[in-house]
Amino acid sequence: MFQKILIANRGEIACRVIRTARRLGIATVAVFSEADAQALHVREADEAHPIGPAPAAQSYLRGDAILEVARRTGAQAIHPGYGFLSENADFADACAAAGIAFIGPGPAAIRAMGSKAESKRLMVAAGVPTVPGYHGAAQEEALLAAEAARIGFPVLIKASAGGGGKGMRPVLTAEAFAEELEGARREARSAFGDDRVLLEKYLQRPRHVEVQVFGDAQGRVVHLHTRDCSVQRRHQKVLEEAPAPGLPEALRERLHEAAIAAARAVGYVNAGTVEFIVEGDEAYFLEMNTRLQVEHPVTEAVTGLDLVEWQLRIAAGQAIPTAWPPPARGHAVEVRLYAEDPAQNFQPSAGRLDRLILPETARVDAGVAEGDAVTAFYDPMIAKIVGTGADRDAALAALEGALRRTAVDGPKTNLVFLRRLVAHPALRGAELDTGFIAAHAADLLGPPEPAPPAALARAAAPPAPGPSVWERRDSWRLQGEAERVALLDDAGVERRITLHASPRGTRFDDGTIPPGGIGTDAVLEGGTLWLLPALDPYRPAGDEASKESRLSAPIPGRVVRLLVTVGDAVKKGQLLAVLEAMKTEIRIAAPRDGVIEHLGCAEGDSIEEGTEVATLKA
């Protein structure tokens, strides 16, 4: 086994690999970009080394810089995680040339499965069913249009080099084909630098079912059961479960066999996933991901295995145990908690996690902690939360409870959406297909429910009084009545609660007695955690105005120029400060006319994201 490994990744997957390595007594080396100097994976690893500026192309995608750290630190193997270099055959080659084990399949298997068109040709030859389509090299528009007509509309245009749902466009009619083709090519060119496309029959509401596989260097390939990942937004997964519910036994068997055949066809070693779309009794090969998947924890939950441990064992030359596959026991469901805005088509959101409360009743894989920031540079996932149980209902109930005990204050998140999703009768009924979110959007989207009065009361009430009147903070008087107003931030909505304190105690406007405050902004009420931070009643009126007045650093950086001092009158658009961050200059200008009331930094300071640069008053 290895004594020291390097993790060429960040966030939750880096933290997750570090955890397993530590349990196995393996030392860990983290790498980090300039934006991640304080990140959780850096704090958790035994040692950590910088590899470049924030943009991934200049850091986490720099195979040479990462290999250099591996050589310098004596790491014997590199775990690529998912994304970044995990499916980069050239990087796997470079690792081999440097005598460092790449924890994943061989470069040839990565190459063969790397192109959607190429992998589909391979699968046809191996007898694995694929969606009817066109995967040819010829790309003339007239030929593609003729192929689309042969396949029959609706068809799906996909980028050959695609991933993450980019460059994917359904075309419903022949008339729309030319325009959609142009759009798909444009997207593919900018995302992958390659505008080749393939065509597929567009299945209207299929299920996404995948099979976890493992191969060893001795030539054995086994499956580790199915997962269903049909619940997707923008063709990307948000909820995954194992095993895939409600599959006829014969179909399940066929999927296992097809997945093993696919892996064998490329001499697959280590962990991989073979993805299918399923409609009725038909299953079609979609692609093979030659790495660990984000959703692997649900497979771990039902098999009792640590898949990262087995990735390491197999990369070190061990054989798959003869008793595999272990039976799948119970059920597991994972959701991805993202910093994103469901109301804005799930657009990523960024910002500091002022509060992050994660449940203790479920497995949580997090890449950030309270106080950390979600930046615009990387995937906005905050954490994966996994519910498990003896059966699907129990797993979903556990997950629902866990999500009720989760709270985030900072960037926009999909937490409320996830709670509704997990509780939805159609999800409980396993009515799964890739159109699920669109079909139930009316139930799943929309503003959060207001906090119940009891939660507001508890958050607003002063902390339970101590024995001495001198230490009381509840406006206690010897005589008469004091009025105190508590302003609470209820998911962006301001709530005003008035308390009356008198020698007889404290009561609300309606005469009810507060329940004895707990002195915290997080209140558990009716089984749900409500985050109700107090707002400063004396802050300038209007939230927007106050936000606009305080100019803060959008990302961590250095103040290279500060052009104003306190008391200066400034005009809208006037340059106030210049930050240098990630080798680029960020110019901070006045959003409106005003006077500089306060400065939060000095020239030459290195400041964190969210630090005040200057505050304006009208």
Near ligand ADP in 118-137, by CB under 6 A: 131
Residue 200 is a binding residue for ligand ADP (CB under 6 A): yes
First to last CA, the chain: 65
Residue 165 is a binding residue for ligand ADP (CB under 6 A): yes
Residue 115 is a binding residue for ligand ADP (CB under 6 A): no
Tokens standing for residue 389: 């149980």
DSSP annotation of 583? T
How many residues lie near ligand ADP (CB under 6 A)? 20
Nearer to ligand ADP among residue 270 and residue 293 (C-beta): 293
| Cβ at position 184, least distance to ligand ADP in Å | 12
Do the Cβ atoms of 3 and 316 come closer than 8 Å?
Answer: no
Residue 203 is a binding residue for ligand ADP (CB under 6 A): yes
Binding segment for ligand ADP among 160-168, 314-322, 326-334, 537-545 (CB under 6 A)?
A: 160-168
Residue 202 is a binding residue for ligand ADP (CB under 6 A): yes
Q: How far apart are CA 451 and CA 47, in angstroms?
A: 44
Tokens standing for residue 79: 């775990």
Task: Give the residue carrying structure tokens 């064998």.
Answer: 264
Task: Collapse the DSSP code of 49 into the 3-class scheme (helix H, G, I; strand E, B; otherwise coil) and give the result.
Answer: strand
Residue 162 is a binding residue for ligand ADP (CB under 6 A): yes
Residue 408 is a binding residue for ligand ADP (CB under 6 A): no
| Cβ at position 158, least distance to ligand ADP in Å | 6
Helix, strand, coil share (%) of the chain residues, nearest 5? 30, 30, 40
Binding segment for ligand ADP among 139-147, 156-164, 525-533, 579-587 (CB under 6 A)?
A: 156-164
Tokens standing for residue 521: 């902004």
Residue whose C-alpha is closest to residue 295's, from 346, 255, 338, 333: 333
| Cβ at position 157, least distance to ligand ADP in Å | 10
Tokens standing for residue 260: 């093993």
Tell me how far CA of residue 202 lies from CA of 142, 157, 171, 173, 349, in angstroms. Answer: 20, 9, 8, 11, 31
Nearer to ligand ADP among residue 160 and residue 506 (C-beta): 160
Residue 32 is a binding residue for ligand ADP (CB under 6 A): no
Nearer to ligand ADP among residue 275 and residue 379 (C-beta): 275
Q: How far apart are CA 337 and CA 291, in angstroms?
A: 22
Active-site residue, selected from the candidate residues 233, 252, 291, 405: 291
Residue 163 is a binding residue for ligand ADP (CB under 6 A): yes
| Cβ at position 392, least distance to ligand ADP in Å | 21
Give me the helices (H) in 33-103, please.
40-44, 63-73, 89-97
Return the number of other C-beta atoms located less than 10 Å from residue 509's C-beta: 10
DSSP state letters, 204-222:
SS-EEEEEEEEE-TTS-EE
Residue 87 is a binding residue for ligand ADP (CB under 6 A): no
Binding segment for ligand ADP among 105-113, 196-204, 358-366, 468-476 (CB under 6 A)?
A: 196-204
291 catalytic? Reply is yes
Residue 287 is a binding residue for ligand ADP (CB under 6 A): yes
Binding segment for ligand ADP among 158-166, 191-199, 407-415, 487-495 (CB under 6 A)?
A: 158-166
| Cβ at position 337, least distance to ligand ADP in Å | 20
Residue 156 is a binding residue for ligand ADP (CB under 6 A): yes
DSSP annotation of 328? P
Angle between helices 107-114 and 116-125 in degrees, nearest 10? 100
Tokens standing for residue 20: 């397993």
Residue 172 is a binding residue for ligand ADP (CB under 6 A): no
Residue 83 is a binding residue for ligand ADP (CB under 6 A): no
Angle between helices 63-73 and 89-97 in degrees, nearest 10? 30
- Among positions 20, 232, 303, 311, the unique one binding ligand ADP when judged by CB under 6 A: 232
| Cβ at position 87, least distance to ligand ADP in Å | 10
| Cβ at position 196, least distance to ligand ADP in Å | 14
DSSP state letters, 155-214:
EEEEETT--TTTT-EEE-SGGGHHHHHHHHHHHHHHHHS---EEEEE--SS-EEEEEEEE
- Among positions 275, 295, 474, 521, the unique one binding ligand ADP when judged by CB under 6 A: 275
Near ligand ADP in 559-598, by CB under 6 A: none
Nearer to ligand ADP among residue 131 and residue 213 (C-beta): 131
Residue 310 is a binding residue for ligand ADP (CB under 6 A): no
Binding segment for ligand ADP among 135-143, 202-210, 461-469, 538-546 (CB under 6 A)?
A: 202-210
* Contacts of residue 510, Cβ cutoff 8 Å, sequence gap at least 6: none
Nearer to ligand ADP among residue 101 and residue 112 (C-beta): 112
Residue 164 is a binding residue for ligand ADP (CB under 6 A): yes
Binding segment for ligand ADP among 198-206, 375-383, 405-413, 573-581 (CB under 6 A)?
A: 198-206
Write each residue from 430 to 469 as x if it is in contact with ligand ADP (CB under 6 A), else as -, in one continuous string: ----x-----------------------------------
Q: How far apart are CA 303 and CA 292, in angstroms?
A: 16
Q: How far apart are CA 128 and CA 186, in angstroms?
A: 31
Do the Cβ atoms of 418 and 238 come closer than 8 Å?
Answer: yes
Residue 339 is a binding residue for ligand ADP (CB under 6 A): no
Q: How far apart are CA 105 and CA 127, in angstroms?
A: 22
Q: If you count DSSP H runs as helices and E runs as strands, how many of each does the chain have, helices first?
A: 18, 37
Residue 184 is a binding residue for ligand ADP (CB under 6 A): no
DSSP annotation of 63? H
- Among positions 81, 105, 106, 206, the unique one binding ligand ADP when judged by CB under 6 A: 206
Tell me how far CA of residue 316 lies from CA of 140, 458, 566, in angstroms. Answer: 47, 55, 62
Residue 241 is a binding residue for ligand ADP (CB under 6 A): no
Residue whose C-alpha is closest to residue 116's, from 126, 130, 102: 130
Q: Which residues bind ligand ADP (CB under 6 A)?
A: 131, 156, 162-165, 168, 200-203, 206, 208, 232, 235, 275, 277, 286-287, 434
The residues annotated with a catalytic role in the active site are 291
